[in-house]
Homo-oligomer: A and B are copies of this chain.
């Protein structure tokens, strides 16, 4: 059931046929021939939660698409204080064109499924396929919008609003349909309390207290620490001040 029906499905590389994000990520810009070229140099693989994908200031020569799971992007000060500066969900593109040195750290927050390709191949195809470059520009602009939204959260929201904003953000990314409706949303938290704290610029204890507060107010339900149910996402939005 994973195989999509395409007009020229037979031309589509085997690796790509069962790919859930083929039409969504940057690959959506490519035709069958271009997909063949790219897939020749691509490989899918899974990494466990906690694995480091890109080390800070490491030389990067491969890019990836996130097929499933969540990747956290973080920065650190010399004394160890850490800040998560972005979360990548499927079908996000992972990599920084025009710079071989990474300025941040990419770690799998959950088990992650990736499709990787050499940077050189993508860079060559960007020359040939303007639509590919355009997709990258669009994704980068979206990430910039998200980063700026989060700056407002980091700089101006209270701890309670920050935690609600985070739960809201994950809900919207895991279930894009949910954000519009008002029905219940349920998911497994992709991050530990420590990660959430690093994403929100708070401490573990403050995150824990605010989660408890939201639970007692009936805004969320929590089971086994990680399973979250949001009965009314609109109400959560109010607490997040969105």
A156 touches B83 (CB 8 A): yes
Hey, which chain B residues are within 8 Å of A104, CB to CB? 148
Give residues of chain A (94-123) contacting chain B, Cβ–Cβ below 8 Å: 96-99, 103-104
Total interface residues on A, CB under 8 Å, equals 41
- Choose the segment among A40-48, A133-141, A168-176, A188-196 that binds chain B (4+ C-beta atoms closer than 8 Å): A133-141
- Tell me, in angstroms, the Cα distance from A123 to B167 when the chains sit together: 37
**Binary interface profile of A, 143-177, with partner B (CB < 8 Å = 1, else 0)?**
11101111110111100000000000000000000
Taking a contact as CB atoms closer than 8 A, the residue among B73, B78, B148 that contacts A75 in the complex is B148
B138 touches A147 (CB 8 A): no
Hey, which chain B residues are within 8 Å of A137, CB to CB? 97-98, 133, 136-137, 140
A interface residue numbers (CB < 8 A to B): 73, 75, 77-79, 81-83, 85-86, 96-99, 103-104, 127, 130, 133-134, 136-138, 140-141, 143-145, 147-152, 154-157, 200-201, 241
Can you name 18 A-B pairs with beta carbons within 8 Å?
A77-B152, A77-B157, A79-B241, A82-B156, A83-B155, A85-B148, A85-B151, A96-B141, A97-B137, A98-B137, A98-B141, A103-B148, A130-B133, A140-B140, A144-B147, A150-B151, A151-B151, A156-B201
